[in-house]
Amino acid sequence: MRTAAFLGHSSSSLPADSYIYTVLPINGNLSAISSDDSLRVLDQTTLQLVPNGVFDNVHSGVTCLKSLDAEWNTLLTAGRDAKIRSWDLRAGTKTVELKHGSGSPYLSLAASHQGTMIAAGTELKHAQAAVVIWDYRSPIAPLSQYVESHNDDVTDTNPPWLQFHSTRPSCLLSGSTDGLVNIYDTAISDEDDAIVQITNHGSSIGHTGFLSNSEFFALSHDEIFSVYPLNESDERDDQAPTVFGDVRPILDCEYVVDVISAPGEVIIGAGTHSKHHLDLISLRSSPQWSFDLPNKICLPNAHGEDISSTLFTAGEDGLVKAWRSPQVESDLNQRLDDPPKKKKRRKESSAKEGRFKPY
């Protein structure tokens, strides 16, 4: 086990007793939504608010925060007020508002990697929980609504219970407290035909998302974890999932905070209330899916998006915290031990040290 070094924290000028729901990278900064219904943008090097970095009352009950990959100055939010809004960080204004007729609170939100398709999942209301699809370029009315594919909340605890596939723009994944993970082809408006795969995880979904082009994971609220194949053809129907079961004894944790998939790496954040720390554990895919427990990183007294030289976490204490990964500490120590003539190596290490992506 390796321990990350604590660098500092910021309250982001939140009111007392506020807590942060989500922290997200945006155009070199950090964005966050919190229990006071604000959207805040922080400088990721200082953790201080950027000028005009507070958007008050973005919703009556904000629930979700996402970025538009194609527009790095635009953020999307959703709320219990049954509205989705986009925010231009340069102008400091709301630009687009999306809604549909049911009035059901939005609990999950996703944007395609091309930034053109938006999907939102609703709370169960009148025996229906909907997945609603918009074309962001034509926001007046939804393209389609899938109202029978789930029979309980389509919700979001970060990461999304809604996620678009990274290379297949019309492929959408959804998860629900009904225990189902559905795969849709959003190019098809008819709901029966649009659902191309249904996976019953057997327990209320806590987190789900794509791990690769051909696999996705599901984690239940009672921490049952499995990796499933994405059935792209009939030949894949018999491919068996990788079932880990309850990961709490495996990871020596009390709960799983997050599962983050980045190109070439999958990280699981596992928390322990009684020991007051958060562990970051790599999930390896080769030769088979397994946890890299000997190399886990411990964040002591932590309260988390992408792993790199600096890690960022946020939590119910209303703080955003920054950490330096053990690999960078090793690099810095190596640089101090190097003779002065090794200028090229010091320069390369310095560049790595300056690369910031939030966890």
pLDDT tens digits for range 275-284: 878 899 999 9
Q: Average pLDDT, whole number, for the chain?
A: 81
Q: Whose CA is closest to 104, among 86, 80, 127, 85?
A: 80
Mean pLDDT computed over 215-219: 96
Mean pLDDT computed over 143-154: 76
Mean pLDDT computed over 108-127: 88
Instruction: Evaluate if pTM is beyond 0.85.
Output: no
HSE, CB side, 13 Å, CA atoms: give it for residue 110.
Answer: 31
Of residues 26 and 302, more confidence is placed in 26
Is the per-residue pLDDT at 44 higher than 90? Answer: no
Mean pLDDT computed over 118-142: 88
pLDDT attached to residue 86: 95
Whether residue 229 is preceded by a cis peptide bond, meaning omega within 30 degrees of 0, is no
Percentage of the chain modeled with pLDDT above 90: 44
Task: Express each pLDDT in 226-245 by its tens digit.
Answer: 999 998 754 455 689 999 99
Task: Give CA–CA dist 225/234, Å, rounded.
Answer: 25
Most confident of 62-76, 92-106, 216-230: 216-230
Task: Give CA–CA dist 274/234, Å, rounded.
Answer: 47
CA distances from 25 to 7, 116, 141, 160, 295 (A): 18, 19, 29, 15, 25
pLDDT attached to residue 45: 85
Most confident of 65-74, 75-84, 140-149: 75-84
Task: Give CA–CA dist 323/10, Å, rounded.
Answer: 12
Identity of residue 101: G
Q: How many residues in total does the chain contain?
A: 359
Of residues 187 and 236, more confidence is placed in 187
Mean pLDDT computed over 132-139: 91
Task: Give CA–CA dist 85/77, Å, rounded.
Answer: 5
Mean pLDDT computed over 181-186: 94
Mean pLDDT computed over 343-356: 32
Q: Whose CA is closest to 147, among 112, 109, 176, 114?
A: 176
Q: Whose CA is closest to 166, among 212, 233, 110?
A: 212
Q: Which helix (H) or strand (E) holds 198?
A: strand 195-200
Q: Whose CA is closest to 117, among 144, 96, 97, 135?
A: 135
Mean pLDDT computed over 31-54: 92
pLDDT attached to residue 68: 84
Residue tagged 């999304």 (tokens): 160
